[in-house]
Amino acid sequence: EKGKLLVPCKSLGFTLAAGESQFTEDMSDAVSEADFSKVKDYKHIPEAVPGLQTWLLLLCLEDRIEAANEWCHEMGAATLEEVIESREDLADFLQEHSTLTPGEREALLERDR
């Protein structure tokens, strides 16, 4: 439900179990309005290859879209399949041109993603 915390409905017969009173008190922070002022929107950045932004989002690397676009232009990649086949070269490029962590590199190089 788009990040909303669903609370059990009393109309369904749910009751709080022992220890859940603290949960209801703490829950007010979880259901309050989120502050998205510091979140960067990458949707306005065009992708050099169709599907690149979605693929990077699935890898939690959406903030690397600009560097990945640069790599695609330099390498002449035209399809997402070409990018995925050359993911090791992309990982090397991202390590040189951004702060790609070892864990992010590993996620990028996994074959089943």
With 80 as the cut, is the pLDDT of residue 17 above it? Answer: no
For residue 12, tell me if it sits in a domain: no
**Domain ranges, residue 88:** 52-109
pLDDT at 43: 73
What gap in Å lies between CA 57 and CA 18, rounded to an integer? 40
Locate 68 and state its tokens. Answer: 């990945």
Is residue 1 in a domain?
no
**For residue range 58-93, what is the model confidence (pLDDT) as tens digits?**
898 988 999 999 999 999 999 999 999 999 999 999
The answer on pLDDT for 1 being more than 50 is no
Q: Is residue 56 part of a domain?
A: yes
Average of per-residue pLDDT across 6-16: 58
Output 51-58 pairs: Cβ under 8 A, ≥24 positions apart.
Answer: 51/80, 52/80, 52/83, 55/80, 55/83, 55/84, 58/113
Q: How many domains does the chain have?
A: 1
Confidence of residue 44 (pLDDT cuts 50, 70, 90): confident
Residue 67 lies in a domain: yes
- The residue whose two tokens read 């790609």 is 100
Quote the mean pLDDT of the chain.
78
Please check whether residue 26 lies inside any domain of the structure. Answer: no
